[in-house]
Structure 1
Amino acid sequence: MKQLFILFAAFILPGCNKFLDKPGDPTRKVPKTVADVQMLLDQPLANGSTFIGADEYYVSAAFWLYMMEANANYYFTWLPNNNTAMVGRDFWKESYNAIFNTNVGIEILNKVPVTAANKKEWELAKGSAHFVRAWSFLSVAWLYANTWHEERSKNDLGAVIDLDSDFLNKLSRSTVAETYDQILKDAQEAVKYLPLYPDNPVRPSRLAAYGLLARIYLSMRKYDEALQQCNLYLAELNALLDYNNPAEVQVDNDYPFSLFNKEVIYNNASVYSGSTFYPLDFNTVAVDTGIIKSFHNNDLRKRAFFKDYGEFWQFAGSSMYETPMTGICTDELYITRAECYARQGETGKAMKDLNDLLITRWTSGTFVPFTASTKEEALTIILDERKKELLFRGLRWMDIKRLNEEGANISIIRKSPDHTKTGVLLPGSPRFAMQLPEDLVINFGYQQNPKE
């Protein structure tokens, strides 16, 4: 049986409460029209708070005293404490709320005849539904499943593939291979229906779907396919912010980036709840000092991304201001294409993409283009810059998982401020697939991920 909370939670999200079927209340209704479906889909998507598991931050002494037992447990062991906190539970719930909404929407759209009058709106809603479902299943896969692998994914546990609105169906976890098959199918369907550009960046578009597909293929380590999607995107949209231009980026402001700046094709923020994850939340965690030191003083991102709070530095580089920006942006496509070119041995093209990006980030006249004579040298440079450019975008956890499959051997090490406690997540650890919320295992029989 599907988790019953999906039915109720799905309809209390902002923008959806008018669709509650409450007898006797004329202000509430069951969605029936294309406009109703679009309203169901016009809300932020779960994604990205994977930063709590990754290596981009630490908890400073200033907030250490506020660390709740359960969050301390996750911080050092990467195992949620289901008895005392919600770490991880919102990631699952929010994704499946969105999936439920898309299933409702697709079923409604399949009953609405397409006419000359409604074709544009119908196609936008249809494409949006498939985009949302692909995005949401991908979030679940990145958090709760092992990295895609040609052989192991045929047996590894993936998402619960839920494709209709009947919450009484008995479901079980699919394999990772089946999960990614569904993700790709939905994303490719989105491309068929969505307009090239969005009428508003909070809605998906064909360009956003190209960006999503690039993420999917990159996380599967299918670099040729990821390159194709980057090319489709960058052939249409390749403008980058100039960090030297105060009209585009105000590097010394508390919020340097405008909300809908020209690099943002799809605007989205991650699941965030200060009361749930405190002090593991975006506004309190300290940026890893090694990352800050990796920025050259002429690199304007150092001023734009980080704000000095004395004992520690906080990240200020999100265009969403108070929450991590996890949407699709042009800079991500540049650096993804650079990596894909490098893996093909096209070092000249790889370094050109990287340098075209970075010259817009450094103080005018100071940037010396990077060069590489080998594929391996190019990859080292590009991956270092990827970590810096895409900081707190909700991508690092996925990157660590896939790069460890490539032999990167990345471990995550955490220490308490008083140095009395240490946690280490080693490459290949099963804890890179987050534990399912315990109530799903108890109530619905979903197979739990291994801890060891």
Structure 2
Amino acid sequence: MKTRYNIFFLLWGLLLCGCDDFLDVKPKGKDIPEKIAHYDGLFNNTILTNLIFSKVNENGSITAQQSEIYFIYMTDELITDEASYANMGRSARAAYTYDPDIFLEEDYSAEWSAAYQQIYLYNVIANGVMDAEDGTTQKKKELLAEARVGRAFMHFYLTQFFCKPYQEATAATDPGVPVVTKANSGETSFSRGTVKDVYDFVTKELEEACPDLPLQTQHRQRVYRAAGYFMLGKVYMAMGEYGKALKALEIAYEGTQNSSIILELFDYNQEIYNWGYTGAPNTWGMSCTYPINLSEDNNELIYNKQVSILPITLFLYPPQVYVKPEYMALYSKNDHRAKFFSDKDYTGVTQWPYSKRVCRYMFTVCGDLPDLYLMLAECKARTGDETGARADLLTLREKRMPAAEAAIPASVNSKEKLIRFVLEERTREFMMSGMRWFDIRRLWNDPLFQDDKKNYTHKVGEQTYTLTEDRLTYRIPPKVMSFNSGWVDNN
């Protein structure tokens, strides 16, 4: 019976999603959930798993209006050549060259529309679940908490593209994004507010809701205590509040150690061969069996909010971007993570002078164990626990390379060098995944990382494009601006 409810309300949830108003979420159905199973089933919705903007047509079919995300083209480890650059779509080329106009009037933005589409569905649950006809108060509070955490994180996600990085001195005046807490398609007047308004909302929601989340989960597509506190820690890190972040992340870590699902780091010393690596690049990309995010075998995944990097990794077609040689050089000799990359095409012939990722096409922005260990290490290093930071780093590194090579170099002999080494490890772990974008933003004004800016460049032929502070913030998509001419766009 519950399965039937879940399928019915998955479809109902999809019917909420259109593209006719400025949030791109105008509902088309009138059904209102009534029972606790209905609200519970709404969470089992692919719209909440994938950061893709989808439209449901009148006949019930689903059309992906925009699935490509563009921050994956904007990180500093990437390079291209003229032929590969020509293979990119217009918006991808704009992102790669740090052009201010990534979106034109005819373009949808998954970064904007998918987020508000999800927020609408979370609001349907948050606005009504406590009035469900049946169910215990505890169950209702758990579902309410899950909805509040989900919508809070999606508001935070929006800030990573459409707001300036958080700075306490300017947050109260920097333009924000609309905070939407009602599932009301009739509302047409929205204010951008300020960055402080958004972060105040997000942190309050997470702080209040996380304690009500269930301790355990049945699968990785649902938010539970460990996932919620992971998100809270990530938000505080973006704010530079490393002490608060550490407190949240330690609760998240404790939750992963007492989980009803398997949560453990993959040991690449063994698993990379189980996944199909043979040293022959012409077969590796096509035969790779690294567990996808939707698989219960992905034991590193805490919670799945997945982004696809397939447009820059698809093995069978001409690639668009590669990894700069100096970034590939960050891997030590036997670091197995380097095996995810190749300088050969699918026939095994050396095709380009750089490297590209040929295995693993999905990442989560919302919670996996490598990210948790690295955030813990950075927060501990920044707050004075260098011993703890080194232990967390070593735990991860011993799963990525032979133990003899995993030791932290003796040259990392100060607090500042340790923090920088943690960020190097983040680059190695998430190379060519797009995740580096979030670190570039939050560290833009960090005194320890000012020298890195000289590397924030992309080349096409002899032309060099440099990331500037303005380009840390997308312009609002013209489709969205057309619904509120009173807004001031980003620079």
Asked if these proteins are the same fold (TM beyond 0.5), I'd say yes
Q: Which residue of 2 aligns with 1:414?
A: 458
Q: CA RMSD in A?
A: 3.3
1:17 to 7, 14, 25: 14
Q: Quick one: which amino acid aligns to residue 257 of structure 1?
A: Y
Superposed displacement of residue 92, structure 1 = 0.5
Q: Which residue of 1 aligns with 2:92?
A: 71
The answer (yes or no) to whether the contact 1:90–1:271 under 8 Å persists in 2 is no
Q: Which residue of 1 aligns with 2:148?
A: 130
Per-residue deviation, residues 248-281 of structure 1 (Å, max 9, x unmatched): 9637243352234221111221267959x999x9
CA gap 1:366/1:274 in 2 versus in 1, 3 angstroms: closer
The answer (yes or no) to whether the contact 1:269–1:324 under 8 Å persists in 2 is yes
The answer (yes or no) to whether the contact 2:129–2:144 under 8 Å persists in 1 is yes
CA gap 1:305/1:324 in 2 versus in 1, 3 angstroms: farther
The answer (yes or no) to whether the contact 1:241–1:249 under 8 Å persists in 2 is no
Task: For 1:25-424, list aligned pairs within 5 A.
Answer: 29-42=31-44, 43=46, 44-46=49-51, 50-83=71-104, 86=107, 89-112=109-132, 115-116=135-136, 119-120=138-139, 122-169=140-187, 170-237=189-256, 239-246=264-271, 250=275, 252=277, 253-254=284-285, 255=288, 257-259=290-292, 260=296, 261-270=298-307, 284-304=320-340, 308-309=344-345, 310=350, 311=352, 312-316=354-358, 318=360, 322-371=361-410, 372-407=412-447, 408-409=449-450, 410-411=452-453, 412-416=456-460, 418-419=461-462, 421-424=463-466
The answer (yes or no) to whether the contact 1:131–1:187 under 8 Å persists in 2 is yes
The answer (yes or no) to whether the contact 1:19–1:29 under 8 Å persists in 2 is no
Per-residue deviation, residues 160-194 of structure 1 (Å, max 9, x unmatched): 01111223331110111110111112223441332
CA gap 1:362/1:202 in 2 versus in 1, 3 angstroms: same
CA gap 1:197/1:12 in 2 versus in 1, 3 angstroms: closer
For residues 167 and 332 of structure 2, what CA distance do their matches in structure 1 show?
Answer: 36
For residues 459 and 9 of structure 2, what CA distance do their matches in structure 1 show?
Answer: 39
Q: Quick one: which amino acid aligns to residue 64 of structure 1?
A: Y
Per-residue deviation, residues 412-431 of structure 1 (Å, max 9, x unmatched): 21111x32x321113xx222
The answer (yes or no) to whether the contact 2:115–2:154 under 8 Å persists in 1 is yes
Secondary structure of 1:196's aligned partner? coil
Per-residue deviation, residues 405-450 of structure 1 (Å, max 9, x unmatched): 212224321111x32x321113xx2221110011222321353444
Per-residue deviation, residues 187-216 of structure 1 (Å, max 9, x unmatched): 234413322232110111110111111110
Q: Quick one: which amino acid aligns to residue 387 of structure 2?
A: G
For residues 211 and 166 of structure 1, what CA distance do their matches in structure 2 show?
Answer: 30
The answer (yes or no) to whether the contact 1:191–1:206 under 8 Å persists in 2 is yes
Superposed displacement of residue 19, structure 1 = 6.4
Q: Quick one: which amino acid aligns to residue 291 of structure 2?
A: S
CA gap 1:95/1:352 in 2 versus in 1, 3 angstroms: same
* TM-score, structure 1 normalization: 0.83
Superposed displacement of residue 84, structure 1 = 6.6
Secondary structure of 2:406's aligned partner? coil
Task: Pick which of 256-265 and 172-181 moved more.
Answer: 256-265
The answer (yes or no) to whether the contact 1:243–1:249 under 8 Å persists in 2 is no
CA gap 1:19/1:28 in 2 versus in 1, 3 angstroms: farther
* TM-score, structure 2 normalization: 0.77
Superposed displacement of residue 364, structure 1 = 4.4
Unaligned runs of 5+ in 2: 1-7, 19-28, 53-68, 258-263, 278-283
CA gap 1:199/1:362 in 2 versus in 1, 3 angstroms: same
CA gap 1:364/1:205 in 2 versus in 1, 3 angstroms: same
Q: Quick one: which amino acid aligns to residue 130 of structure 2?
A: N
Number of equivalences: 424
Q: Which residue of 2 aligns with 1:6?
A: none
State percent identity of aligned pairs: 21
For residues 190 and 340 of structure 2, what CA distance do their matches in structure 1 show?
Answer: 46
CA gap 1:75/1:246 in 2 versus in 1, 3 angstroms: closer
Q: Quick one: which amino acid aligns to residue 264 of structure 1?
A: L
Per-residue deviation, residues 101-149 of structure 1 (Å, max 9, x unmatched): 1111112213215644x843x3443222112202210110111101111
Per-residue deviation, residues 68-103 of structure 1 (Å, max 9, x unmatched): 44432332133224437637x221011000111111
For residues 193 and 306 of structure 1, what CA distance do their matches in structure 2 show?
Answer: 45
